[in-house]
């Protein structure tokens, strides 16, 4: 069963929360972070993307960047912009995007659970990305990036969280520049906190990483290197998480662009597709897939509807995924892309950018063909994690994103 705890968050003064809040470090580049932080000394980008305060061209993985992150975090504390909660608390975090809301519980989760598989994974991690986060955690002595977890709904937990929101005023409530609203409540009574801890211990057999595999892996590696016994209550034996009930989550599509047709003419490519798909030209208007195993393809100004034929996929948790069907029957078989992680001829576009981004990049001549996929479902993600398998790369895109800087876990 899942072990979680309340914690003493490092968090901003209420009047400064919007100034502090920053998008996750890995969804924007250094230039974008510098632009968003311009004129705002309270922005958490000074911690999460601290290269913005160093000379242009500085290696973002250099020791100077991590040292600057630690220095800037200390400045935010010394200025009073950030303060350390006096007692351990749970936090409720509600996000609203385009009229759809999702509400999660911010807590710290057990690294022991991560190590023994109670916290389940569905992606491989890359050593160089792990090392970046290890260096950042070690320098700042803080987990500044949140790991996004999901769990099967527990009605009693939902009821407690709903009741607290109705009965208490939020600590933070603002709408960011991108239109996403962020509201946070502080659960500061021991009685309610104990109820939540007990319910997770009794009713939640597993949690699932939705987003933040590298942040979780890095926290575990920092703990391991410390030599601290895993069963102690030390802060570094836990890592910062926000846990959402599955019913509130939506996964967006994660689409593909390819630079060329691997030597095929347009006509030969379309003909070859018909071995594994029904192929129907649907015109010039954007066409989103409406169901699993249906794909939309944009080629030479025309959208096509592709439906996978029976026999082109298996029914195991990985084989049935649309990303697998596309990879095996199109990207590999016809376009010669064996490893989408490393092949420079393929690119990936999160569904948050819409199909217009695919059209723009094909029409510009940068890319030759685009494929839009039906989103992976939460149940598919759970099934794969439960089976011990991992998804193909770039399978899931979650929105909205949690903001960094609102709740930090000090180790």
97 in a domain, yes or no? yes
According to DSSP, the residues that pair with 172 across neighbouring strands are 184
Q: Are residues 13 and 104 in the same domain?
A: yes
Chain centroid offset of residue 349 CA: 14
165 in a domain, yes or no? yes
What is the DSSP-derived secondary structure letter of residue 353? G
* Predicted local confidence at residue 203, as pLDDT: 95
How many Cα atoms are found within 13 Å in the side-chain-facing hemisphere of 125?
20
Strands (E), 262-384: 277-283, 294-299, 302-308, 346-350, 369-373
CB atoms within 10 A of CB 167: 8
pLDDT in tens, 33-62: 999 999 999 999 999 999 999 998 899 999
Tell me what the mean pLDDT of segment 341-363 comes to.
90
Query: Can you tell me the distance from the alpha carbon of 160 to that of 195, in angstroms, rounded to the nearest whole number?
Result: 9
* Predicted local confidence at residue 316, as pLDDT: 85
Residue 327, SS3 per DSSP: helix
Confidence of residue 399 (pLDDT cuts 50, 70, 90): confident
Confidence of residue 391 (pLDDT cuts 50, 70, 90): confident
Q: Are residues 326 and 231 in the same domain?
A: no
Give the CATH number of the domain where residue 315 resides. 3.30.1760
Q: Are residues 325 and 354 in the same domain?
A: yes
386 in a domain, yes or no? no
CB atoms within 10 A of CB 34: 17
What is the DSSP-derived secondary structure letter of residue 28? S
pLDDT in tens, 320-344: 899 999 999 999 999 999 988 788 9
Confidence of residue 397 (pLDDT cuts 50, 70, 90): confident
Q: Are residues 183 and 331 in the same domain?
A: no
Q: Are residues 183 and 259 in the same domain?
A: no
Nearby residues of 48 by Cβ (< 8 Å), 6 or more positions away: 22, 24, 25, 33, 69, 144, 145, 404, 405
Query: Can you tell me the distance from the alpha carbon of 381 to that of 378, in angstroms, rounded to the nearest whole number?
Result: 5
10 in a domain, yes or no? yes
Query: Can you tell me the distance from the alpha carbon of 83 to that of 80, in angstroms, rounded to the nearest whole number?
Result: 6
Query: Can you tell me the distance from the alpha carbon of 27 to that of 268, in angstroms, rounded to the nearest whole number?
Result: 38
Q: Structure tokens of 394?
A: 């770039």
Confidence of residue 351 (pLDDT cuts 50, 70, 90): confident
387 in a domain, yes or no? no
Q: Is the pLDDT of residue 378 over 80?
A: yes
pLDDT in tens, 83-141: 999 999 999 999 999 899 999 999 999 999 999 999 998 888 888 889 999 999 999 99
Q: Are residues 212 and 298 in the same domain?
A: no
388 in a domain, yes or no? no
Number of domains in the chain: 2
Q: Are residues 265 and 245 in the same domain?
A: no
* Predicted local confidence at residue 50, as pLDDT: 97
Give alpha helix (H) positions in 284-335.
322-326
Q: Are residues 307 and 331 in the same domain?
A: yes
382 in a domain, yes or no? no
The secondary element (H helix, E strand) that includes residue 241 is strand 238-245
Of 98, 23, 124, 25, whose CA–CA distance to 65 is shortest?
A: 25
Among 109-113, 185-189, 353-357, the least confident range: 353-357
Q: Is the pLDDT of residue 393 over 80?
A: no
pLDDT in tens, 241-287: 999 999 988 888 899 999 999 999 999 999 999 999 999 999 888 88
Instruction: Label residue 199 exposed, middle or buried (CB < 10 Å: 0-12, 13-18, 19+).
Output: middle
* Predicted local confidence at residue 353, as pLDDT: 81
pLDDT in tens, 206-243: 999 988 889 999 999 999 999 888 888 899 999 999 99
Confidence of residue 395 (pLDDT cuts 50, 70, 90): confident
Of 132, 110, 107, 144, whose CA–CA distance to 229 is shortest?
A: 110
Q: Is the dihedral of CA 393, 253, 23, 356 positive or negative?
A: positive
* Predicted local confidence at residue 59, as pLDDT: 92
Q: Are residues 221 and 265 in the same domain?
A: no
The secondary element (H helix, E strand) that includes residue 209 is strand 207-211
Contact indicator for 328, 318 with CB cutoff of 8 Å: no
Q: Are residues 288 and 188 in the same domain?
A: no
* Predicted local confidence at residue 300, as pLDDT: 95
Tell me what the mean pLDDT of segment 150-162 comes to.
95
Q: What is the dihedral of CA 206, 210, 214, 219, to 10 degrees?
A: -40
Q: Is the pLDDT of residue 352 over 90?
A: no
Q: Are residues 242 and 134 in the same domain?
A: yes
- Residue range of the domain that includes 175: 4-251+399-410
Q: Scan for tokens 């057999």, then name that residue.
A: 205
* Predicted local confidence at residue 396, as pLDDT: 82
Q: Structure tokens of 29?
A: 């580049």
Q: Are residues 279 and 243 in the same domain?
A: no
138 in a domain, yes or no? yes
Nearby residues of 89 by Cβ (< 8 Å), 6 or more positions away: 6, 7, 8, 9, 186, 187, 188, 193
Tell me what the mean pLDDT of segment 187-195 comes to.
96
pLDDT in tens, 3-39: 999 999 999 999 999 999 999 998 888 999 999 999 9
């Amino acid at each position: 069963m899942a072990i979680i705890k309340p914690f003493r968050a490092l968090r901003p003064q209420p009047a400064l929360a919007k100034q502090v809040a920053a998008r996750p470090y890995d969804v924007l580049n250094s230039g974008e972070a510098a632009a968003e932080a311009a004129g705002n000394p309270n922005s958490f980008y000074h911690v999460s993307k601290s290269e913005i305060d160093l000379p242009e061209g500085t290696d973002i993985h250099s020791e100077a960047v991590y040292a600057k992150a630690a220095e800037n975090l200390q400045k935010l504390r010394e200025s009073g912009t950030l303060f350390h909660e006096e007692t351990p608390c749970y936090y409720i975090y509600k996000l609203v995007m385009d009229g759809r809301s999702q509400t999660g519980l911010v807590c710290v989760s057990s690294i022991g659970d991560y190590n023994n598989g109670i916290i389940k994974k569905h992606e491989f991690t890359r050593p160089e990305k792990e090392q970046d986060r290890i260096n950042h955690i070690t320098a700042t002595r803080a987990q500044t990036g949140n790991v996004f977890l999901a769990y099967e709904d527990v009605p009693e937990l939902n009821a407690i969280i709903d009741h607290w929101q109705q009965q208490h005023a939020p600590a933070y409530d603002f709408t960011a520049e991108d239109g996403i609203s962020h509201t946070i409540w502080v659960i500061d009574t021991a009685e309610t906190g104990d109820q939540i801890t007990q319910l997770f211990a009794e009713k939640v057999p597993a949690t699932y990483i939705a987003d933040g595999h590298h942040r979780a892996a890095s926290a575990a590696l920092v703990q391991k290197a410390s030599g601290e016994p895993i069963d102690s209550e030390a802060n570094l034996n836990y890592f910062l998480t926000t846990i959402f009930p599955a019913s509130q989550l939506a996964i967006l599509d994660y689409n593909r662009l390819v630079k060329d047709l691997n030597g095929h003419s347009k006509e030969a490519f379309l003909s070859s597709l018909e071995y594994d798909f029904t192929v129907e030209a649907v015109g010039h208007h954007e066409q989103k897939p409406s169901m699993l195993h249906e794909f939309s393809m944009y080629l030479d100004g025309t959208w096509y509807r592709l439906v996978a034929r029976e026999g082109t996929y298996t029914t195991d948790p990985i084989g049935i995924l649309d990303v697998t069907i596309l990879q095996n029957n199109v990207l590999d078989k016809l376009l010669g892309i064996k490893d989408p992680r490393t092949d420079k001829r393929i690119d990936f576009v999160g569904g948050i950018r819409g199909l217009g981004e695919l059209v723009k990049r094909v029409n510009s001549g940068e890319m030759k063909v685009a494929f839009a996929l039906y989103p992976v479902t939460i149940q598919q993600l759970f099934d794969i994690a439960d089976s011990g398998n991992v998804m193909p790369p770039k399978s899931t895109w979650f929105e909205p994103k949690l903001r960094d800087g609102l709740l930090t876990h000090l180790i």
